[in-house]
Structure 1
Amino acid sequence: MEFLALDFETATPQADSPCELGIAVVRGGVVREVRNWLIKPRQWPYFSPWNVAVHGIRPSDVAEAPRWGGIWDEVATLLDGATVVAHNAAFDMSVLRSTLAAHNIGHPTFQYFCSVSMARKVWPGRASYGLKPMCDMHGIPLKHHRAGNDAEATAELVLRAADQRPSFDITQFLLDAKVNVGAFYPGGHRTPGGKVTVASAY
């Protein structure tokens, strides 16, 4: 089973203000690597106090960090052609979509799904499907609201869910579990619910 788990933290309520990105790389059903990038957002040095209270990242922490364009080639190489998961994917994919548009960068091609939706299918009837309660339920270590940690925990949650199914392929697992899949592609974006938007960068 191969896929990527992705998580963003943002500097402000604006979607195009990523200040940290984490990607966990799963190969052969195991988390093989966790990548983490601090990012200097275009809004720097302004950070919303509310966002700082959530993730603890301050303007001084990213003062020497690369801008989005400085990490994008590396990130795009990982994403292109992959299956990607995020916990509350609507948020993370909005950050990615908005940031690409703000930097006039075209979309890569990959499919994605939401681990909240997945968890609702695999473990119905739970009181909460937030990342922390789901990790607590499965004994997954979590330092919440730091991108690399959240990405790794999300990957481990998907692997726990896959243990409930006879699938060894991520695409087959999603079909078996009836989890809807969205996609990024050069011309635009399709949500797991089927809404299509045209890419605004080019």
Structure 2
Amino acid sequence: MDFIALDFETATPQRDSPCEIGITVVKDTQIVETRSWLIKPLYYPHFNHFNVAVHGIKPTDVKDQPDFRELWPVLQPYLEGQFLIAHNASFDMSVLRKTLATYSIPLPEARYSCSLKFSKNIWKGMTKYDLKTLCNMHRIDFQHHRAASDAHACAALSLKAIEQTGTASEEEFLAKMGSKISRV
């Protein structure tokens, strides 16, 4: 099973303010690549103090980084035509959609699912389903709220769910994972 795990960190509460993106590539149920890019957000140099407290990325860290429009030619091949998984996908997909709209970039043809949602179907009875709790339960080490590490953790968690349910394809996702696949 192939998919791309995706994670965004944002500079402000505005969804079109990504300051970091992380991507983990899974081919034949193996993690083959994890990458991240810092992004100079649209609202630079304004960063919300709460967002900085969460991820630790400051305006000085992104001062010389590309904005999303400049980075899109590098990111698009990772996303176009792919099956994406994010933990709390409603957040990450809204960041992607809003940022693409802000820069007048067409949406990629991609499908996605949410590891938060399918985790609730697979590991029933937990009090919390955040990425940190699930990764602790499965002994997946990661540096929370850094995009590459979160994307890698999401991929590792998704692989555990895929293995536990015996899911072999996107077509089996709803029946075995209890989670629908949506279009970006």
**What is the TM-score when the length of structure 2 is the normalising length?**
0.97
Deviations 1:77-104 (A, max 9, x none): 1111111011001111110011001001
The structure that is helix-richer by fraction is 2
Aligned residue type for 1:122: I
Q: Distance in 1 between matches of 2:155 and 2:174?
A: 14
RMSD: 1.0
CA contact (8 A) 1:3 1:84 kept: yes
Question: Where does residue 130 of structure 1 map in the other structure?
Answer: 130
Q: Distance in 2 between matches of 1:183 and 1:175?
A: 18
Q: Does 1:37 align with 2:64?
A: no
CA contact (8 A) 1:25 1:33 kept: yes
Segment drifting more, 73-82 vs 85-94? 73-82
Q: Distance in 2 between matches of 1:11 and 1:174?
A: 34
What fraction of aligned residue pairs are identical, expressed as a percent?
47
Question: Where does residue 146 of structure 1 map in the other structure?
Answer: 146
Question: Where does residue 20 of structure 1 map in the other structure?
Answer: 20
SS at match of 1:7: strand
**What is the TM-score when the length of structure 1 is the normalising length?**
0.89
**Is there any run of 5+ residues in structure 1 with no aligned partner, and where?**
185-202
CA contact (8 A) 1:11 1:19 kept: yes
Deviation at 1:172, TM superposition (A): 1.9
**Is there any run of 5+ residues in structure 2 with no aligned partner, and where?**
none
CA contact (8 A) 2:40 2:63 kept: yes
CA contact (8 A) 1:165 1:173 kept: no
Runs of 4+ in 1 over 6 A off after TM superposition: none
CA contact (8 A) 1:3 1:170 kept: no
Deviation at 1:71, TM superposition (A): 1.1
Q: Distance in 1 between matches of 2:82 and 2:175?
A: 16
Q: Distance in 1 between matches of 2:171 and 2:163?
A: 14
Q: Distance in 2 between matches of 1:42 and 1:166?
A: 42
Q: Distance in 2 between matches of 1:3 and 1:120?
A: 20
Deviation at 1:164, TM superposition (A): 1.1
SS at match of 1:54: helix
SS at match of 1:50: helix
CA contact (8 A) 2:5 2:25 kept: yes
Q: Distance in 2 between matches of 1:80 and 1:42?
A: 23
Deviation at 1:175, TM superposition (A): 3.3
SS at match of 1:91: helix
Aligned ranges 1:187-202 → 2 under 5 Å: none
Aligned residue type for 1:142: F
Q: Distance in 2 between matches of 1:62 and 1:71?
A: 13
Deviation at 1:30, TM superposition (A): 1.0
Q: Does 1:181 align with 2:181?
A: yes
Deviation at 1:76, TM superposition (A): 1.2
Deviations 1:37-64 (A, max 9, x none): 1000010001000000000000000001
Deviation at 1:158, TM superposition (A): 0.4
Deviation at 1:20, TM superposition (A): 0.1
Question: Where does residue 56 of structure 1 map in the other structure?
Answer: 56
Q: Distance in 1 between matches of 2:41 and 2:162?
A: 35
Q: Does 1:98 align with 2:98?
A: yes
Deviations 1:128-161 (A, max 9, x none): 1000000000000110000000000000000001
